[in-house]
Amino acid sequence: MEASTALSSRGIPIPKCRSFSSHRFIARRALQIKCMATKKPKSSSTNKTVGSKKGTKVFPMGQPGPRYSPPSNGSVKLLTRVEQLRLLTKAEKAGLLSAAERFGLSLAKIEELGLLSKAEELGVLSAATNPQTPSTLFTLSLALLILGPAFVFLVPEDSTWEVVVQVVVALFTVVGGSAAFAASSFVSNLQKVE
């Protein structure tokens, strides 16, 4: 095969390859250049993981990517997390403890009423450590926040008692949905492992 070069209008060399000696054949195929280029040998770095940014990884095709795995011990240390978040200090600064005391709810009264043992019997404390609790509370909040407007839309307003039922259900769903959303966020923050 015979090869020659020509210069473009910008002065850049353009290789021309001739497979036939006929110039007429080359003129017909002026836009098509057929050349044999040397192939670069494949490097062994094709199977390596390449990082595009610091902390990110690109995984080659056919290899599994990263998967989320919950903490291996599965238990959340609730009191340690409360200490890390400094929740008692924040409650004190916000005046929540003094407000509760003004309403007659002190630590002695909580102990006297047995509220902590009741909370444990109802599973409130164990629910705070359950990893499914935040998603369950979030789903409940969405359902309640959708139910309120749907109920108001679907129930007719023909009589006074129907309007009263609409108001009561709307208030219950808005307050309950907001409380469930706040509880979901709070429990999720408690369960974060740092």
pLDDT single digits (tens) 90-119: 888 888 878 888 888 887 888 888 888 888
Taking CB atoms within 8 Å and a gap of at least 24, the contacts of 167-174 are: 172/148, 173/144, 173/145, 173/147, 173/148, 174/144, 174/145, 174/148
* Residue 108, number of CB atoms within 10 A of its CB: 8
Mean residue pLDDT of the chain comes to: 75
Q: What pLDDT sits at residue 124?
A: 79
The DSSP H or E segment spanning 5 is strand 2-7
Burial class (CB in 10 A: 0-12, 13-18, 19+), 141: buried
Instruction: Give the residue with greater pLDDT, 149 vs 20.
Output: 149
Alpha helices in the chain (DSSP H): 23-28, 78-85, 87-94, 96-102, 107-113, 115-122, 124-129, 133-154, 160-191
Q: Is the C-alpha dihedral spanning 143, 146, 148, 151 positive or negative? A: negative
Neighbour count for residue 91 (Cβ, 10 Å): 14
- Start-to-end Cα distance in the chain: 68
Q: Which of 106, 169, 145, 13 has its CA nearest to residue 5?
A: 13
- The letter for the amino acid at 133 is T
Answer whether 0.75 is exceeded by the pTM.
no
Q: Is 122 left (phi over 0), alpha (psi -120 to 50) or beta?
A: alpha
Residue environment code for 15-38, b if the CB has 16+ CB neighbours within 10 A, otherwise e: eeeeeeeeeeebeeeeeeeeeeee
List the structure tokens of 13.
């060399």
What are the residue boundaries of the structural domains of the chain, listed by start?
A: 1-36, 76-122, 130-194
Most confident segment among 29-38, 126-135, 152-161: 152-161
Tens digit of pLDDT for each residue in 39-95? Answer: 665 655 555 555 455 666 766 776 666 665 555 455 667 777 777 778 878 888 888
